[in-house]
């Protein structure tokens, strides 16, 4: 039972990473821009050079902006 749960968690992590790999940084920037306009949030971002870090940062900012809706 425990090994099955650990296997399911690992599968979830792999699927999540695959989804992140498929998402384009520019798409995330556009989503953030639209959400910021909807919430009147005026932000300026400087993305990390590393693409993975940039995606994680954008996702974090998107989540923070969604909470303002």
pLDDT tens-digit readout, 27-53? 999 999 999 999 999 999 999 998 889
What is the per-residue pLDDT for 4? 83
19 band by pLDDT with thresholds 50, 70 and 90: confident
Q: Are 40 and 69 in contact (CB under 8 A)?
A: no
For 13-62, give the DSSP string. HHHHHHHHHHS-HHHHHHHHHHHHHHHT--------SSHHHHHHHHHHHH
Q: Is 28 exposed, middle or buried (0-12, 13-18, 19+ CB in 10 A)?
A: buried
Q: Are 50 and 20 in contact (CB under 8 A)?
A: no
């Amino acid at each position: 039972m425990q090994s099955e749960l650990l296997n399911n968690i690992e599968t979830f992590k792999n699927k999540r990473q695959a989804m992140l790999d498929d998402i384009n940084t520019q798409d995330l920037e556009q989503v953030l821009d639209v959400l910021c306009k909807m919430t009147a949030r005026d932000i300026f971002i400087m993305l990390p050079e590393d693409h993975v870090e940039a995606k994680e940062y954008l996702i974090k900012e998107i989540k923070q902006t969604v909470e303002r809706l």
